[in-house]
Copies of this chain bind each other. A is one copy, B any other.
Amino acid sequence: MTAFVTDLSGDFRHACAARIEGFLRTATFDRPTLVIDTDVVLQNFRALSQGLGDAHIHYAVKANPEPQVIEALVNAGSHFDAASRGEIELCLSQGARPEDISFGNTVKKPGDIAFAYNVGVTLFAADAEEELDKIAEHAPGAEVYIRLIVEASGADWPLTRKFGCAPDHAVALMDYALSLGLRPVGVSFHVGSQTRKAEMWAPVLDRIADVWRAARAEGHALDLLNIGGGFPAFYGEDIAAPAIYAAQVREMVAERFGDLARLMAEPGRGLVAEAGMIAAEVVLVSRKSPDDLHRWVYLDIGMFSGLAETMDEAIRYQFVTARDGERTGPCILAGPSCDSADVLYEKRMIDLPLGLKSGDRVFIRSCGAYTSSYSSVGFNGFPPLDVVVM
């Protein structure tokens, strides 16, 4: 199957980065700015669509809720996964059809369920009795899929036990949904954000397939499998091209589930991360004393103004400076706020040019996901990350 898929990695990735970097080099910004290239979003959308074949792609809006990104994806035929009423409103405002929006948060306020139902959203996630009660009351007769908890798969941003029911409780929840007049149509799961290797999906899919078979054996006419997100972005470590990765996942799904009436996937990072680059600036380079082995580099963007995914140093961004090619050395990288937790990388330091100094511009690659919306409203008086869409 994978033989027919074009490898869009290598050259394409370089071309994308070059285009955004070219724009950044000629532009000036008076504060940290995320530049998004919607062409890259669409290219990734097409690559994942190609690899996933008949699956519906529901873009995980939370990854980047920039209206122009949503609009571009609406025009390309994408569906959407919304985490809140706010995201549903956003999708509708950009032209998405309500029947193409799933309300995938398993923790929903009654009023938000009612809102979604009234505008025409028909598909809801749940992982608990009380959530089904709310959906039955405020979205009577709706389709629901049961989210399952799965063991961590080795993803770079692994999931906690926050979402999902125990696999052996799924059938009971489907029974309960039916008793409330809801339509339990399938199951969902999440392998973990930034799951770098497709083979990490195999044991998770095995477990989900067990539940799927058990539910069908109990008489539930499931026809929807939601494989969630987890599609990786390039942060410097080698990953497969999106189309090839997706095709591998699709093949593993086919092996375990055969023909599926409805397959859906919820990529977020995999669509938008590489489409964005942040223009930032060095504010200070220092050592604690002349004989200190550790160099500190402070940027004008930090953990509270866009780079929240550096928490626990989970996501490791790549940095581009005008001094690249000069001699480099390790540094501790920190943000501009007075908060001592606002340190980006310290345990594993970042290699940057030794000549770097205050005022130097720094570009940060693959910043299209989980940056602008993670920004604080104005912590320490710094404005939130600005966004420009190319």
Q: Which residues of A contact B (CB under 8 A)?
A: 60-62, 65, 82-90, 104-110, 127-131, 133-134, 149, 157-166, 168-169, 172, 281, 283-290, 292, 296, 298, 300, 304, 308, 311, 334, 336-343, 346, 357-359, 372-384
List of B residues within 8 angstroms of A289 by Cβ: 165-166, 168-169
List of B residues within 8 angstroms of A129 by Cβ: 286
Tell whether A86 pairs with B381 under 8 Å between CB atoms, given A130-B358, A162-B343, A287-B128: yes
Q: Closest B-chain residue to A87, C-beta based?
A: B381
List of B residues within 8 angstroms of A359 by Cβ: 110
Known A86-B383, A162-B340; 18 more pairs at CB < 8 Å: A62-B379, A83-B338, A86-B380, A88-B381, A104-B338, A105-B338, A107-B283, A107-B298, A109-B300, A110-B358, A128-B285, A130-B285, A134-B358, A161-B288, A166-B288, A169-B290, A172-B290, A375-B377
Tell whether A84 pairs with B281 under 8 Å between CB atoms, given A134-B358, A288-B149: no
Q: Please determine whether B341 and A160 come into contact, CB atoms closer than 8 angstroms.
A: yes
List of B residues within 8 angstroms of A128 by Cβ: 284-287
Which 7 pairs show the lowest CB-CB distances between chains A and B? A86-B381, A128-B286, A87-B381, A84-B381, A166-B289, A169-B289, A83-B380
Tell whether A160 pairs with B62 under 8 Å between CB atoms, given A109-B300, A383-B86: no
Q: Closest B-chain residue to A298, C-beta based?
A: B107
* Copies of this chain present: 2
Q: Please determine whether A338 and B284 come into contact, CB atoms closer than 8 angstroms.
A: no
List of B residues within 8 angstroms of A292 by Cβ: 166
CA distance A287 to B372 in the complex (A): 33
Most buried by B among A60, A65, A133, A161: A161
Q: Please determine whether B376 and A374 come into contact, CB atoms closer than 8 angstroms.
A: yes
Q: Please determine whether B161 and A130 come into contact, CB atoms closer than 8 angstroms.
A: no
Q: Please determine whether A283 and B108 come into contact, CB atoms closer than 8 angstroms.
A: yes
CA distance A304 to B60 in the complex (A): 17
CA distance A162 to B284 in the complex (A): 12
Q: Closest B-chain residue to A89, C-beta based?
A: B381
Q: Please determine whether A336 and B107 come into contact, CB atoms closer than 8 angstroms.
A: yes
**Could you list 11 examples of A-B contacts with CB < 8 Å?**
A60-B338, A62-B339, A83-B382, A105-B336, A130-B284, A130-B358, A131-B286, A157-B341, A159-B340, A166-B289, A169-B290
Q: Please determine whether B65 and A378 come into contact, CB atoms closer than 8 angstroms.
A: yes
CA distance A134 to B283 in the complex (A): 10
CA distance A235 to B95 in the complex (A): 47
Q: Please determine whether B169 and A381 come into contact, CB atoms closer than 8 angstroms.
A: no
List of B residues within 8 angstroms of A62 by Cβ: 337-339, 379-381
Q: Closest B-chain residue to A159, C-beta based?
A: B340
Q: Please determine whether A284 and B106 come into contact, CB atoms closer than 8 angstroms.
A: yes
Q: Please determine whether A127 and B286 come into contact, CB atoms closer than 8 angstroms.
A: yes
CA distance A180 to B134 in the complex (A): 67
List of B residues within 8 angstroms of A164 by Cβ: 288
A52 CB to closest chain B CB (Å) equals 21
List of B residues within 8 angstroms of A104 by Cβ: 338
List of B residues within 8 angstroms of A300 by Cβ: 109
Q: Please determine whether B337 and A284 come into contact, CB atoms closer than 8 angstroms.
A: no
A68 CB to closest chain B CB (Å) equals 16
